[in-house]
Structure 1
């Protein structure tokens, strides 16, 4: 099974890119499963999303912990299914950026040791300004991290976590980003 992860700030285009990538693999006749976290098909994902729509430190912690449980659940449920050719995750381990600085790198290294990784893990590095523009056009409830201050802080933090990711300029057009991701993934098959 080919494992692919696409991560990035809110508004970076993760879901758009996983859907385009999934279509490219489906055209090749591959059985593709896409998991976009937090997922609404299980209690961990729903609790994470619920906490993201609130404010405060306790909800910040709840959102991160439930997100982690949601992603782990997806890995356990889908990564050993022999009928799946390609497993694509939107948001994966970089949620650890939202943990306090004291523990986030430790948790990240543990998570990367325990959970699957591959050479097809992409971080869409979108500017906070572009991220906010895209978030505003979605017409959805705003989450706790979807403000300029949080986006700047998290983007700056991301630099210490993305050393083993393919970093893609998230401000580019959908087509340019898709071309870069698809060619990297298909070349590594």
Structure 2
């Protein structure tokens, strides 16, 4: 089944279930014969995965917000060059667990008024936005509880606590209004299958539009 390239990102606070929904969407589309690349940020390419270990592990104050912006942008550039753009050029559907909107929130908004810096670097070094962004919305307290229960070594941002999660949720919802043409907000406080059904429905609509255009 031939499809034009389509770039889909998933966003949301920690513990919102976005990674699960990204995986389920990829599995469903693949079962329908669509060529899918499932990837993540930070990471998704060998160099970017090395940077992932630097930014997601260690003490919460390990890096300043400005340093984090540079590290995330470097990882994203490598990811774009080696994974995302080649897949899109080949007509594949790229499903990415987080992209630039996470940097706009975590580094650009929550850790200082650095949103303009994030956008400037993004324009200069990345220059690409997803065709659609699925925001899995979740209560901050419930999301943080879920995230901490995973007990992984990548808990640096969870360690900032519930206040950060509250700021992130508000920020993501504001981004959804700012970029309304590409955002779809899905209620994540339901059974996994219910959320997955809504995700698939909005993606199918975008795929149909892409084929027609």
**TM-score for the superposition, normalised by structure 2:** 0.76
1:87-113 Cα shifts (integer Å, max 9, x gaps): 111101122212244331563477379
Structure 1 segments unaligned to the other structure (5+ residues): none
Matched residue SS, 1:4: strand
- Residue 211 of structure 2 corresponds to which residue in structure 1? none
Partner Cα distance (2:118, 2:206) in 1: 28
Matched residue SS, 1:168: strand
4+ residue runs of structure 1 moved beyond 6 angstroms?
Answer: none
Matched residue SS, 1:159: helix
The match for 2:201 among 160, 183, 189 is 183
Judged with a 3 Å threshold, the aligned counterparts in structure 2 of structure 1 residues 144 and 75 are, in CA distance, closer, same or farther, namely same
Judged with a 3 Å threshold, the aligned counterparts in structure 2 of structure 1 residues 106 and 134 are, in CA distance, closer, same or farther, namely same
Partner Cα distance (1:127, 1:74) in 2: 30
Judged with a 3 Å threshold, the aligned counterparts in structure 2 of structure 1 residues 121 and 40 are, in CA distance, closer, same or farther, namely closer
- Residue 149 of structure 2 corresponds to which residue in structure 1? 137
| 1:10–1:131 contact (8 Å) kept in structure 2 | yes
- Residue 79 of structure 1 corresponds to which residue in structure 2? 85
| 1:12–1:170 contact (8 Å) kept in structure 2 | yes
- Residue 117 of structure 1 corresponds to which residue in structure 2? 130
Partner Cα distance (1:65, 1:12) in 2: 26
| 1:124–1:167 contact (8 Å) kept in structure 2 | yes
In the TM superposition, residue 170 of structure 1 has moved relative to its aligned partner by 2.0
1:37 aligns with 2:21: no
Judged with a 3 Å threshold, the aligned counterparts in structure 2 of structure 1 residues 46 and 127 are, in CA distance, closer, same or farther, namely farther
1:66 aligns with 2:77: no
In the TM superposition, residue 173 of structure 1 has moved relative to its aligned partner by 2.0
1:47 aligns with 2:58: no
Matched residue SS, 2:174: coil
Per mean C-alpha deviation after superposition, the further-off stretch among 108-117 and 15-24 is 108-117
Structure 2 segments unaligned to the other structure (5+ residues): 208-213
